Amino acid sequence: MDLRACRRGPSGLAWSAWSTWLIWLTLGGSIQAGVPQKHAGHNHARGGQAERTADGAFASLNTGEAPTHENAFDHEAILGSHAEAETFDQLSPAEAQRRLRILLDKMDRNHDERIEKPELFAWILRSFKSLSQEESSERFKDADLDADGEVTWAEYIKEEFEIDDDEEGQAEMKSIQTDPDRLDELQMMEEDRILFQAADKNGDNKLTPPEFLSFSHPEDDPSMHQVVLQQVLHDKDRNRDGRIDFQEYIGERGQDQSKEWIISEKDRFDNELDKDKDGTLSAEEIKAWMIPSNNDIAHDEVSHLFAGADDDVDGMLTFDEILTHHDIFVGSEATDYGEHLNNLHKFEDEL
């Protein structure tokens, strides 16, 4: 849902989004959901992809860290749209409650006027998907320079890297390819090219909006996961054994770091990432690290909302409880930032 920061490798790809996306890996990047930023000015931002975190993983929606439940995150999680969240903030309490009440009927799958945890969980995941689509659509419009409904590689690198298809652009490309100080830009471009080709399902060398969604948010498309895995192995697997040990995991990020940092990363590697405790990360463990699921974030948001609104602590939220605490929900991922509240019609055939 806002693969958002530079390519620190996104999650923290902090991913962002993926700051959540590999330099991102090699230099400590990972994938995260968020609004992608362009490479303009050679600031090494991850234009087409979700952001990454410092270890190269695609960051999850909340930047790969434990949710802080700030209003901005809550708004997006519930309402599913950055723009609509801002609009919803301007509604009066009475109008917010009115719209929320209509939305609850859509969220209440068994029509008992209570929202159970599975219902809220499913709704929030849907909001995340909606947010990813919104962000990808914005990036697509920026990159589709001739507005023909498709994005070519030339259009993409012009928008994201400011490289034109002319003599000046060719000189800029040569500079990126030969200047040692710009190797990170070259690697990002090469990685983008790999993802671009993988997302180009029909092989016509241009991306439709659905293909661009796979390109910009590969974490949301299982068919892209193997491509991400191969990128990680190419960048980090120095001994080419198809696995990543601790030294390969920290890579260049470990240079000039404190003893405390090394100990902390070793603890994470051993106790969080290396599930089978064999001292290396397998393909499946690498994917779990690089492409974190939004499920954990959604579960945390559900717990947050129940803690704030389940007054009788019975494990269910009545409509009255939610409306009483409407300020929590309209500032939560559950209502997708007002997007759902302003476009209630779109759920008629989807839920």
Long-range contacts of 101-110 (CB under 8 A, 24+ apart): 101/319, 101/323, 102/341, 102/344, 103/335, 103/340, 103/341, 103/344, 104/319, 104/322, 106/340, 106/344, 106/347, 106/351, 107/334, 107/351, 108/319, 109/351
**Given pLDDT bands bounded at 50, 70 and 90, which one contains residue 26?**
very low
**Given pLDDT bands bounded at 50, 70 and 90, which one contains residue 128?**
confident
Query: Which range has the top average pLDDT, 56-70, 189-203, 237-251, 282-296?
Result: 237-251
Residue 207: strand, helix, or coil: strand
Contact by Cβ (8 Å): 244, 233: yes
Q: Which of the pair, 22 or 243, is modelled with greater confidence?
A: 243
Instruction: Confirm whether pTM is higher than 0.85.
Output: no
CA 284, CA 321: separation in Å to the nearest integer? 41
Count other C-beta atoms under 10 Å from residue 209's C-beta.
15
CA 339, CA 341: separation in Å to the nearest integer? 5
Residue with tokens 């590689």: 153
Contact by Cβ (8 Å): 51, 43: no
**Given pLDDT bands bounded at 50, 70 and 90, which one contains residue 42?**
very low
Residue 95: strand, helix, or coil: helix
**Given pLDDT bands bounded at 50, 70 and 90, which one contains residue 47?**
very low
Residue 311, beta-bridge partner list: none
User: CA separation (Å) from 50 to 20, 27, 36, 193?
Assistant: 6, 16, 6, 15
User: CA separation (Å) from 30 to 3, 6, 8, 162, 221?
Assistant: 9, 10, 6, 23, 17
Convert the pLDDT of each residue in 145-193 to its tens digit.
Answer: 999 999 999 999 999 888 888 888 888 888 888 887 787 788 788 888 8
What tokens were used for 28?
């400590």
Convert the pLDDT of each residue in 264-314 to its tens digit.
Answer: 999 999 999 999 999 999 999 998 888 877 888 889 889 999 999 999 999
CA 24, CA 209: separation in Å to the nearest integer? 25
Q: Which of the pair, 123 or 6, is modelled with greater confidence?
A: 123
CA 325, CA 304: separation in Å to the nearest integer? 12
% of the chain residues with pLDDT over 70: 69
Count other C-beta atoms under 10 Å from residue 106's C-beta.
15
Q: Which of the pair, 155 or 25, is modelled with greater confidence?
A: 155
What tokens were used for 50?
């979700």
Ramachandran angles phi, psi of 193, nearest 5° = -65, -40
CA 109, CA 271: separation in Å to the nearest integer? 38
What tokens were used for 128?
């995340």
pLDDT at 342 over 90: no
